[in-house]
Amino acid sequence: MKDVFVLLNNNIRELFRQTSFWIGVIIVLQILMIWLIIYVYLELSDSNYHFYMNTKTSMESIHHVKIDKYDGSFERELSTEEKLIRKQNQRWHLRKLFK
């Protein structure tokens, strides 16, 4: 991992030497903006995915039932096949990339 950062640092330094300073700054800022837009999009889509998480505790305490976080139905024992399907349908998230 250290080698990757050293390589990136050397490439960015060489970019600044070959082009004018402002062109290099604009390129780096564009890369950071694109990364930020992708990250914010993934964060927003991830927060929309957990629809039943917000009301789960209050609904459980009022009605004395257990609510499933996956689809909002009443909680029940899942078969092995259903567990596998839920695991395969998990959304990819940037946090998984950095773990």
Res 76 pLDDT > 70:
yes
Note whether 52 and 68 are within 8 A (CB).
yes
Locus of tokens 């957990």: 50
Task: Find the largest Cα–Cα distance for the chain.
Answer: 68
**pLDDT value at position 31?**
93
**pLDDT value at position 52?**
54
Note whether 69 and 86 are within 8 A (CB).
no
**pLDDT value at position 50?**
52
| Tokens found for residue 36 | 């930020």
User: Which tops the pLDDT comparison, 65 or 59?
Assistant: 65
Beta strands in 11-78 (DSSP E): none
Q: Quick check: pTM over 0.75?
A: no
pLDDT tier for residue 95 given thresholds of 50, 70 and 90: low
Per-domain residue ranges for the chain?
1-49, 50-99
pLDDT tier for residue 46 given thresholds of 50, 70 and 90: low
